[in-house]
Structure 1
Amino acid sequence: MDVFNRNIDFNALFKFSHISASTQQHLKKVYASFALCMFVAGAGALRHVCVQQLNLLSGLGSLGLLIWLTATPHSRETEQKRLGMLAGFAFLTGANLSPLLEMCIAINPSIIPTAFLGTAVIFSCFSLSALYARRRSFLYLGGVLLSGLLLMLLFSVVNIFVGSTWLFTANLYLGLMVMCGFVLFDTQLIIEKAESGDKDYIW
């Protein structure tokens, strides 16, 4: 058998027959709002790099918008307003990150595009894994992931007094594994909430 002459259906990669059509539409909206936030946050960071402002104001503004967003109930009437709040929160969050981005640029400008591409690849791979996996198969990770977050917090506090490079590196890679696990967990949680009737793609 010549494996190179077989017909391959690449459209099968994007078929999620185990997910209902309404949930697939919901997922499209979720990822669209995620992409919007990413680009708006990038614009906020770029503007703050070009026009220096007080980080305290942008920090308080992002916190205020987050509280306002959580306090506003989801409905068809409030959908556009809540989407605007989310975009504003993303913009101010990007502005808050600009000092860190400036530091990265000063050290090595290639850090930012490398981090962006690496994050995009990891997020895409783990999201697809969660979408193709059997429903609810990764929801059990919730407790393990929260335990991992607590362990990271403990390592960080201990390392303030110890100052160990090894502990810092271990915490860094533990954080990478925990965040990858959260992509799996949150993607399946979004699916289950949508299947249960919760179509709020903004929060």
Structure 2
Amino acid sequence: MANPSAISTQGRTLEINRVLRNTYMLLSMTLLFSAFTAGISMAIGITPMMGLGLSIGSFILLFVTLRKAEGASGLLWIFAFTGAQGASLGWILNHYAGMANGPMLIMQALGMTAAIFIGLSLYVITTKKDFSFMRGFLFAGLIVMVLAVIANIFIGSAPLFLALNAGIALLMTGFILFDTSRIVNGGETNYIRATVSLYLNFINLFMSLLHLMGMGGDD
């Protein structure tokens, strides 16, 4: 007679693997779609104000996506969100692309982001280590960073900008470990919400690394 406990464990493992598979498939698709919309906004040459408008729009779409994540329309909303988010980055990418070796700089930041993301994800998936203990530290750090970013809008300090991006990069590596751990250990069972979390980690890590790498050639 089959052991009910073993059957339950096997079913839970299959469910976790299903969420992992769907999450990384959807993450790949949304990142590619963001790259596509970012390319369009670069070609159009959107202004910083247009980028700000798209950022605000994507922020609203983020909340809609999370609310609709359990329904059939969740897939539509996540592509709307990631498309707007990618488009909002067009003017920033054009700024760096206009610098000496700008395109190479963007590709280096993207490659470094992908290497860090894949490396940390594989570590968590392989070891199945639980990083839930980082929750309080990460969310406290996120609040501090958001407040500091808002403050620097008015201060306009280049050294603080550099420090903030270094802090954001470090914070995002922690979130990659934390969010991947939640999926691997069954803490997140909705692949749309899981994709949103990992997508934001990837994009924020990429932008912070791009800012750090571009500081040398930025006036």
Which of the five TM-score ranges fits, normalised by the shorter chain?
0.7 to 0.9
* TM-superposed deviation, 1:143: 0.9
Unaligned runs of 5+ in 1: 1-16
Count of residue correspondences: 177
1:26: which partner in 2?
19
Distance 1:144 1:59, change over 3 A: closer
Q: Is the aligned partner of 1:199 residue 2:189? A: yes
Q: Which moved more, 1:21-30 or 1:153-162?
A: 153-162
Cα separation, 2, equivalents of 1:131 and 1:73? 23
Cα separation, 1, equivalents of 2:120 and 2:163? 22
- Paired amino acid for 1:97: L
- Paired amino acid for 1:201: Y
Q: TM-score, normalised by structure 1?
A: 0.74
Cα separation, 2, equivalents of 1:60 and 1:126? 30
Bigger share in helix: 2
Cα separation, 2, equivalents of 1:158 and 1:175? 14
Cα separation, 2, equivalents of 1:55 and 1:43? 15
1:66: which partner in 2?
62
1:126: which partner in 2?
120
Cα separation, 1, equivalents of 2:156 and 2:42? 34
Cα separation, 2, equivalents of 1:66 and 1:153? 17
2:103: which partner in 1?
109
Query: Root-mean-square deviation (CA), in Å?
Result: 2.7
Q: Is the aligned partner of 1:86 residue 2:86? A: no
Deviations for 1:72-106, whole angstroms, at most 9, x for unmatched residues?
2514xx1xx21121112111111111000100100
* TM-superposed deviation, 1:24: 1.4
Cα separation, 2, equivalents of 1:151 and 1:67? 21
1:171 to 164, 175, 178: 164
Greater radius of gyration (CA): 1
Identity, in percent, stands at 24
Q: Which moved more, 1:55-64 or 1:138-147?
A: 55-64
Cα separation, 1, equivalents of 2:79 and 2:157? 38
